[in-house]
Structure 1
Amino acid sequence: MAKKLPADERRAQLLEAALMIAAEQGVDALTMRPLAADAGVSPGIVHYHFHDKDTLLTELGETQILQVNEGMRLAFGQYTEPSGLTGIPALEDLLRAGIRGLWPIVEATPHHQLLAYELTAQALRRRSAGNLAAGAIAERQYSAMDAETVAFLTLCATRADVTWITPVEQVARFALACMNGLVLRWLVDRDSAAALIALDDLVQILTSKAR
């Protein structure tokens, strides 16, 4: 019999188990009974916390957003100290360090990277079917990543003493679109050397948007 836990702890435990199943086996494998078995609880407990799979996927999307944002924040936060350079060279150095700082996280979590794409696609499909709340998860996912990226780009520009020529929100949107494509390509071919070269190319393009 499962140990009785406070409702918030049980919910967190179930979400963590759901995240593991979905990351390792895909979203289609995530159903109530396997989740209950994996978490060591009855199906009734799972249904108590998550009325149906739609509700579970929505909650899982929220959890994924928090984890991705925390990873971005930690990676960017380690690489925003000036290195003695100033101006555009300093910006290039900061951007390269921060963006490359994300790559070890990507390499270490391929299943979770794939899950992020799956959850976005699922949310958009559910929105097309009329579930607007599900679609809002995809919007929140990108809005949250936009905010983290804008904060990073703004801090880099401030510390390098440069100004973004293009509005920083547009720079962030472009950077994330490129990163999404690079991660997806890496999931296909696992060519990290090529990915790092592409990341350096991205830094060059971003640097051209400042003065």
Structure 2
Amino acid sequence: MLTRLPADERRAQLVESAIAVAERGGIAAVTVRGIAEHAGVSLGVVHYVFESKEALLAAMGESIVLQVSQSMHAAFGEASHHPEVRGIRGLRILLHRGLSAMWPLIEATPDRQKLSFELRSYSLRGASAADNSTATLMNAIASEQYQIMDREAVAFLNNCSERSGTTWLEPVAAVSRFGLALLDGLVLRWLVDRRSEAMLAQLDDMAGIIASKATEV
């Protein structure tokens, strides 16, 4: 007998089931039947909660975004608990601590990282081929992820500059955009070759590159 759950709980259950299915087989494996079987519900329940595959994918993207945000917040928060260090060298140390704290979370979830890239690529392709309402929904999958990551990164960068007595030479939003683009590229390369030692060295290089965009007050 199907257990009756509150609407929000049922929606969250189906989204997690869809993510689990997609982690194993990619977005192409996300079907109403596959999700229903994984969640242990009828096909009608899935149809009732999500009116289209695009709506389900958007919900999956939103869930992953929130998980990424929580991971970034936890990692950056951990870095901020260290004793204060000053100057550009101190800024680099703080940046490296934050990136290093994020890395175990990334390394432990390769399938979810791949799905995150796949969702963004799918949303961009779908947005250019769909009608207006669907295109808006698809575009939100990619843009929302970056908006939330930007907020976490900007807060972290501001915290690092304040604690190290430095100031950014460019708008902090631009530094955040640049840093997240670097991180995206490094994570994608790691997903291909799984060279974790190289990744750790590159994260240190990344901290140095970002720190070069600041000066001491």
- TM-score, normalised to structure 2's length? 0.94
Matched, 1:104 2:104: yes
Cα contact 2:84–2:163 (8 A) shared by 1: no
CA RMSD in angstroms, aligned pairs only: 1.0
Asked if residue 95 in structure 1 is aligned to residue 99 in structure 2, the reply is no
Corresponding residue for 1:114? Answer: 114
Partner residue in 2 for 1:166:
170
Correspondence for 2:140: 136
User: Residues 157-205 of structure 1, C-alpha deviation per residue, up to 9 Å, x if partnerless?
Assistant: 0111110111111111110000000000000000001111111111111
**1:69 aligns to 2:69 (yes or no):** yes
1:102 Cα deviation (Å)? 0.8
- Letter of the 1:13 partner, please give it: Q
Structure 1 residue 45, shift from structure 2 partner: 0.3
Structure 2: unaligned runs, 5 residues or longer: none
The equivalent of 2:181 in structure 1 is 177
Matched, 1:37 2:41: no
The 1-side partners of 2:144 and 2:5 are apart by: 30
Q: Which amino acid is 1:22 matched to?
A: A
Q: 1:95 corresponds to which letter in structure 2? A: L
Q: Distance in 1 between matches of 2:207 and 2:39?
A: 43
**Residue 25 of structure 1, CA deviation:** 1.7
Q: Equivalents in 2 of 1:45, 1:84: separation in Å?
A: 53
TM-score (norm 1): 0.97
Q: What is the CA distance between 1:82 and its match in structure 2? A: 4.6
Once the two structures are TM-superposed, the CA of residue 85 in structure 1 deviates from its matched residue by 2.5
**How far apart are residue 5 of structure 1 and its match?**
1.0
Which amino acid is the alignment partner of residue 47 of structure 1? H
Residue identity over aligned pairs, in percent, reads 49
Q: Please, which runs of 5 or more residues in structure 1 have no aligned partner?
A: none
> Quick check: 1:82–1:160 contact (8 Å CA) kept in 2?
no
Alpha-carbon distance between aligned partners in 1 of 2:150 and 2:129, rounded to the nearest angstrom: 26
How far, CA to CA, are the matches of 2:85 and 2:46 in structure 1?
A: 54
Is 1:86 aligned to residue 90 of structure 2? no
Instruction: Give the secondary-structure state (helix, strand or coil) at the position aligned to 1:2.
Output: coil
| Amino acid in structure 1 at the alignment position of 2:66 | L
